Amino acid sequence: MRRLLFVANWKTHLGPDEARAYLKTFLAQYRPTEGREVWFFPPAVSVEAVAQTIRHQAGLLAGAQNVYWEPKGAFTGEISAPLAAAAGARAVLIGHSERRHVFGESDADTERKLSAVLDAKLVPVLCVGETLAEREAGQTLGVVTRQLEAALGRRQPAALQHVTVAYEPVWAIGTGKNATPHDAADVHRDIRRWLAARGAKTPRILYGGSVNLKNAAELLAERELDGVLVGGASLDPEAWGALVRTAAD
Ligand code: PEP
């Protein structure tokens, strides 16, 4: 049976009370479905509220949008992977394009974070993707491969099994311009080949970038997509509830 993962990235929205109110609406119409999972990535201050609210719900999980690589210490303003885990996170986004392009996170940083996340027994969701200029210069594969190599190149196959990769072209995030299913699938195939060559047999590869209720079915009809990572369109609990029910075979 096809497994699908729906990831909601709330970015810098929804504090603890708003997160609980959101989940009340979402859970009122949520029915667990075999083969489907829904993961929520709230801002750090709301991770515990989300994790607590969904703790008895099948198919749902809370994650953190970012962590620092050191487990603890004098790093004012940061949270670590063990702290995220203590708040109830089970997964962490790594290398989201806003981390890379707004906060200057480097490829080397993604490797340190990935290592810390695996050490804390959390699931890394590694985000990769090219800018518009890189795409137009025909560099998509080169950029994605460089990002994979930096973050995962030194990992053993057993560790790679635990990694989820999200292909998120930078030009598609928050712009209303999604990649076509065909274009996304081409890059997914390359990512899958790269992972398979290093011993990861059944990696999960998500597509992210302006996914919404209108285009989700068409994107998910492409079987290279093991799910979607959604920002803006995950902020309305009713629309998100409908999106995670999107028909796909
Ligand atoms: C994201 O935050 O990773 C994302 C894909 O955002 P959006 O769905 O708003 O493009």
pLDDT in tens, 51-103: 999 999 999 999 999 999 999 999 999 999 999 999 999 999 999 999 999 99
User: Which tens digits make up the pLDDT trace of 109-127?
Assistant: 999 999 999 999 999 999 9
Catalytic residue check, 182: no
**Looking at 96, 111, 130, 188, which residue is catalytic?**
96
Which pTM was predicted? Answer: 0.97
pLDDT confidence band for 247 (50 / 70 / 90):
confident
Q: Is 13 assigned a catalytic role?
A: no
Residue 22 contacts by C-beta under 8 Å, 6 or more apart in sequence? 14, 237
Ligand 1 mean position to 172 CA, how many Å? 8
CB contact at 8 A, 170 and 147:
no
Q: Which of 173, 177, 214, 228 to mutate to test the pocket of ligand 1 (most atoms within 8 A of CB)?
A: 173
